[in-house]
Amino acid sequence: MNSPYERCQIYERILDHINEGVFVVDRDMRITYFNAAAERITGFSAAEAIGEYCYDILRSTYCPTACALKESLESGLHVGERELTIYSRDQREIPVSVSTSPLRDEDGNLIAGVETFRDLSLIHFLREEIQESHTHHDIITKNPTLLDMIGHLPDIAQSDLPVLIEGESGTGKELFAQAIHRLSIRQDKRLVRLNCAAIPDNLIESELFGYRKGAFTGAYQNKPGKFNLADAGTLFMDEIGELSPHVQAKLLRVLEDGCVEAIGALEPEQVNFRLISATHRSLSSMVESNLFRQDLYYRIGVIRIPLPPLRERREDIPLLIDHFIQILNAQLGKSVERLSPDACKLLMDYDFPGNIRQLRNILEHAFVLCHGKTIRSNHFPSEIRASGRKTSIPGGSNLREIERETLRMAMKRSGGNITRAAEDLGIHRTTLWRKLNKYGIK
């Protein structure tokens, strides 16, 4: 039987062979154990880390206000999968996912805390590579309004003026922002994203402006703000309508004089970035209600791009369905080819409060349940099946156009085989032939 000391050594050797960083702190937040993966990710050796306060080693963006490990020690509960950024020994930003748990002795007394963390750098790099590759050619539409906007995107991108993209959630605002950046003179620089709705009010200012070491309790190192990170590039501020009046005033000052002063800094810094904003709110109504500054509204909206909701561009639904079927087949290793006529009609009649994002989610749900080549209405979520009501077709579309597009899609899926297309649509071959001639489809 191994002694407790020998068992401890075995456990440490096991922990040194896993990919996740692991460290243990005592009740005073001093590190008592630091595994090999923690050394590799942070750049600090175990000898350097042990005995130090964890916030001097990990130096997380959440250390000052929302430490997960401290939360576990105080509550005695597990905290799981919280994404944040730490700074390595050489000041590199490292995105990580952390989980923390309290450690108790045999009598149930809380004696320490343990944190595991995964390096997300590769995942973030690949995600940004995919997102940065978007151009206006990735915007799928045949809607006249959107086609007109897309035609102006190169001119908008080259202007370097602030852009405000307005539209409901899920309409593709970020895709337009990425396209503008990729077409602009700043395309070789960074596109920095900030979701204003996802950052608590007490953190948004430090996220935007950054801070200097010692500026406040918990500011253990210098942290650059989004303005600095976007210098020479583009800053995309999503959900800008969620900013508090205090932060709105500070943003306006930055846009007017081009200077940023980090919290605790002695001197302001000059920055040069292109601002693209987005919102699902009506900022003009917020201005009337004194919830959004009028001067800032005009400053960020020199160029405005209003994106129509999916229910006003129903002619795009078949195109988007085809697009997502190809993507999901590749991602999930399936071979779905089509939607049944009743499933297609259900989606054509639906209002899509979540717009394009919701359409994709619906198809993802259907892909999980579909084990053949045809998605049917029973594969959709229950709320979609329950909708089953007819909807008018606004935005210049009509039933004739939708029928023509449905026929065209069926012929495309069948490779031009009329018999297969007729079976797909659930109509007689002669009926399909007559309709193809009616619409001039070859």
The share of the chain scoring above pLDDT 90, in percent, equals 44
The count of C-alpha atoms lying within 13 angstroms of the C-alpha of 411, restricted to the half-sphere facing its C-beta, is 18
pLDDT attached to residue 438: 78
pLDDT at 130 exceeding the cut of 50: no
Residue whose pair of structure tokens reads 């590759």 in the numeric block:
133
pTM (two decimals): 0.62
End-to-end CA distance of the chain: 81
Percent of the chain whose pLDDT exceeds 70: 87
The b-or-e profile of 177-196 (16+ CB within 10 A means b, else e) is: bbbbbbbbebeebbbbbbeb
Top pLDDT among 234 and 82 is at 234
What's the rounded mean pLDDT across residues 20-39? 91
Q: Could you tell me which residue, 302 or 121, shows the higher pLDDT?
A: 302
Hunting for tokens 């800094």 — which residue is that? Answer: 265
Query: What are phi and psi for residue 34, nearest 5 degrees?
Result: -150, 110
Closest to 83 (Cα-Cα) out of 124, 55, 49, 24: 124
- For 168-188, the pLDDT digits (tens) are 999 999 999 999 999 999 999
Report the pLDDT value the prediction gives residue 155, as an integer from 0 to 100. 92
Average pLDDT, the chain: 85
Q: Identify the burial level of 27 via C-beta atoms within 10 angstroms of its C-beta, where 0-12 means exposed, 13-18 middle and 19 or more buried.
A: exposed
CATH number of 4-120: 3.30.450.20
Residue 411, classed as helix, strand or coil, is: helix
Tell me whether strands 163-166 and 303-306 are parallel, antiparallel or unpaired: parallel
Domain with CATH 3.30.450.20 in the chain: 4-120
Higher pLDDT: 440 or 285? It is 285
Annotate 375-410 with DSSP letters as a single string.
E-GGGS-HHHHHH-------TT--HHHHHHHHHHHH
Q: Which helix (H) or strand (E) holds 314?
A: none
Q: State the CATH class of domain 311-439.
A: mainly alpha
The CATH code of the domain at 133-308 is 3.40.50.300
* CA-based nearest residue to 102, from 79, 57, 72: 72
Token code pair at residue 159:
């202007």
Question: DSSP string covering 176-242, please?
Answer: HHHHHHHHSTTTTS-EEEEETTTS-HHHHHHHHHEE-TTSSTT--S-EE-HHHHTTTSEEEEETGGG
Residues forming CATH 1.10.8.60 domain(s) in the chain: 311-439
Q: CB–CB of 384/346 below 8 Å? A: yes
